[in-house]
Structure 1
Amino acid sequence: MDWQVSQSGHITLSSKPDAGTVRAALGRSGVTKASDKREGDGATPLGRYPLRRVLYRADRVAAPKTALPVRPLRPDDGWCDAPDDAAYNRPVRRPYPASHEALWREDGLYDIILVLGHNDDPPIRGAGSAIFLHCKRGDYEPTEGCVALDPVHVRALLAEARPGDWLTIR
């Protein structure tokens, strides 16, 4: 299945013919062509991305029901966002000497993370890292470049997701 996210911030959560759309938060800088995406620009990259795997906070939420690979987060999980580092746009264990994002967060945004296959095969240095589908903040406040949904909707999408599915941001 190819999940569709519109630039207006809506996503269809089901392959069923009567499925509606739900609200999604996008980057604080809006959207940008994937070829124009730059590390730290706050834009959500347009394009079609494979659904890679799911990470979740087992101390806060139950494992999502999904056919995708799932792993609980650990307090030392991070994601490298340093373009000059060999682990750029890859998971790392904290502490890590280069710039990275902590995946174990207190604000609930990463209680469930769907890792998207953006700039990862192989990563192009500086072309953007850590593009996830994750839980929303507040009343759909903008993200740093990810796609964010209400946790109920994250779970609904994951329940239907299968290996080989894609997320298209258009």
Structure 2
Amino acid sequence: MVLTPTGLRFQGRLLCCAVGRGGVVADKREGDGATPAGVHRVVGLLYRPDRLPRPAPWARPILPGDLWCDDSGHPLYNQPARAPLAASHEALRRADPLYDLVLLTDWNWPRAEPGLGSAIFLHQWRRPRHPTAGCIAFSRTDLLWLAARALPGTRLLVPRVLAGRLGRRAAVAQRQ
């Protein structure tokens, strides 16, 4: 997978996507809303079994009480967690469809360094090309297509040359 100025290229297709509201940056920091440049790898696939069939044999269900810790001072920082958790976290099981299907990347994982930001996911967008908090977002159709083909270890290249070039309406393209 390669992020380009016109979308995410993978297996001969160009998928329309959105990046973080802070664009692509070479120096990612906690809370900057940016998508980090670099070579990342897919390390997990999560899905809502009450909303979707299992997308791949290696996918894990998102269950009630599943969280993601985003508290840089907590031992579970940038790791999945279970409720109750007093530390700052994000619920993985959401009322909206954004996390019905999530490809996890290895950004700042498995040994998270405080301040570098947590959880760069590939997930569904809120609406077409709406910026994220740093993740890469797709239409549901394209995300399902991607999840059916990406495997653990699939590389995601976010070129440094895009840093400062992709902003709010980044990576807009039509499916080919």
Q: Contact conserved, 1:9 with 1:26, CA < 8 A, in 2?
A: no
Larger relative contact order (CA 8 Å, sep ≥ 6): 2
Residue 132 of structure 1 corresponds to 121
Change (3 A) 1:59 1:74: same
Q: Secondary structure at the match of 1:156?
A: helix
Identity of aligned residues (%): 42
Residue 105 of structure 1 corresponds to 94
Pair 1:74-2:63 in alignment: yes
After superposition, what is the alpha-carbon deviation per residue over 1:115-150, rounded to whole angstroms, capped at 9, x for unaligned? 000001311112110110001111221000000011
Q: Contact conserved, 1:109 with 1:136, CA < 8 A, in 2?
A: yes
Alignment of 1:19-168 (within 5 A): 19-33=12-26, 36-65=27-56, 69-168=58-157
Change (3 A) 1:28 1:159: same
Structure 2's unaligned 5+ residue stretches are 160-176
* One-letter code aligned to 1:123: A
Between the aligned partners of 1:121 and 1:60, the Cα distance in structure 2 is 28
Tell me the CA shift for residue 163 of structure 1.
2.8
Tell me the CA shift for residue 9 of structure 1.
5.2
Structure 1's unaligned 5+ residue stretches are none
When normalised by structure 2's length, the TM-score is: 0.85
When normalised by structure 1's length, the TM-score is: 0.88
Runs of 4+ aligned structure 1 residues displaced above 4 Å come to none
Q: Contact conserved, 1:4 with 1:11, CA < 8 A, in 2?
A: yes
After superposition, what is the alpha-carbon deviation per residue over 1:9-33, rounded to whole angstroms, capped at 9, x for unaligned? 501131xxxx231211100111111
Q: Contact conserved, 2:70 with 2:88, CA < 8 A, in 1?
A: yes
Q: Secondary structure at the match of 1:140?
A: coil
Between the aligned partners of 1:101 and 1:130, the Cα distance in structure 2 is 10
* One-letter code aligned to 2:150: A
Tell me the CA shift for residue 64 of structure 1.
0.9
